[in-house]
Amino acid sequence: MPRLDTVSVVKNAEVKRLDSSQIQIMGILNITPDSFSDGGNFLSAGSPDINRVIETAQEMVSDGATMIDVGGESTRPGADAVEESEELERVVPVIEALHKAISVPISIDTSKAGVMLAAVKSGARFINDVRALQAEGALECASKLGVPVCLMHMQGEPRSMQHKPEYVDVVQDVKSFLLERARDCEAAGIPRSHIVIDPGIGFGKSLEQNLSLLKHLSELVSSGLPVLVGVSRKSMIGAILDEPVDKRLYGSLALATAACLAGASIIRVHDVEATRDAVKVTEALMHAK
């Protein structure tokens, strides 16, 4: 499995490290009113509910999360764009509080250079960008910040990405895009060892295209770059099972297990405890003689 360089978080003069030898579980914390699954859970009168955020993040860490991904702008299909100032108001107080309250690395889920900068200054140690550092100033900013980055593939924009997405060959098209962005990152000064790639399940892909990407995930893994997969509670599971968001746990675990078997390095999830158990069993199988 490709390895990501150790991510360090300095807290009270003690260095907390991410064990890059195991599959990582990234817990999701969306500080938004409109994310498809947990929208509104951590906002009170438009401001972050810091106590609830800390309690939830600590529970996720206790359950097995090795990273916490904080986002302040929903990127679900049809989501409206958020101004940078509003995104900053949502995520900066949360990251500052979590930096003091938890012992695992904090990831910032954003595409905006200004948010990346403020988040890292506040304690974030990983950038997770659905636009693969293509927004104005994002690539230069990420390079200067010196933290690992995740580059995700998305066809189109959230407001329109699910309107008849088309590919010549979805697996090769996505792979080519991600490897090109990785080369651009290296040219900008980001070490290859700090680059993670994400096929962007559900971001401008039909059900069949999503399934094809997951079935052939090893194509991305073969690039030598660590692969992040986010399938938790997504609409493709709802389409297969005909179940609402709150009844997609088992489908999420099935896809997470398949991703691990294919070589994924990071699994991004809402349901940390259940995913932890699935990953542990999967790793035991993978390491069996």
The set of catalytic residues is 234, 268
Distances (CA, A) of 262 to 54, 131, 145, 220, 226: 33, 24, 31, 9, 12
Torsions phi, psi for 236 (to 5 deg):
-60, -35
Task: Report the C-alpha gap between 198 and 154 in whole angstroms.
Answer: 10
Residues 99 and 279: their CA atoms lie apart, in Å, by 26
Nearest to 87 by CA among 112, 65, 66, 67: 112
Bridge partners (DSSP) listed for residue 106: 68
Where b means 16+ CB within 10 Å and e means fewer, 153-180 reads: bbbeebeebbeebebeebbebbbebbbe
